[in-house]
Amino acid sequence: MTSNEVTIKKLNIPNDVLEALEKIVSSECLMYKSKQDTIRRLTEGSPCCMCRGIPSHEVKYEVQDDSTTRIERYCDNCMKKRYRNGVK
């Protein structure tokens, strides 16, 4: 698997949706699975691939060998940790 091109995009989640997500994720009344499903539904994609939190960035890797695109989503904190030394 050889990756040629990496694209990083800041997700545009409306403030009202973001506030609702933050309340849901911090709630102790909801099960983990319910929180993950809600993040998927309201952000139209997966949660952060490292901490399973609310994503703020999407990273796309174009894979040359099999014409595939790999997509990873990260929250702000995990994005900083993952790419502190630049795109890998």
Q: Are the beta carbons of 42 and 17 closer than 8 angstroms? A: yes
Residue 48 resides in a domain:
yes
Q: What is the pTM of this model?
A: 0.80
- The predicted structure's pLDDT at residue 85: 66
Amino acid at 35: K
Structurally, the chain folds into a number of domains equal to: 1
pLDDT by residue (tens digit) across 64-75?
Answer: 776 788 899 999
Handedness of CA 87, 66, 51, 42 (dihedral sign): positive
Residue 88 resides in a domain:
no
Residue 39 resides in a domain:
yes
Range of the domain at 45: 3-82
Residue 29 resides in a domain:
yes
| Confidence bin at 62 (pLDDT 50/70/90) | confident
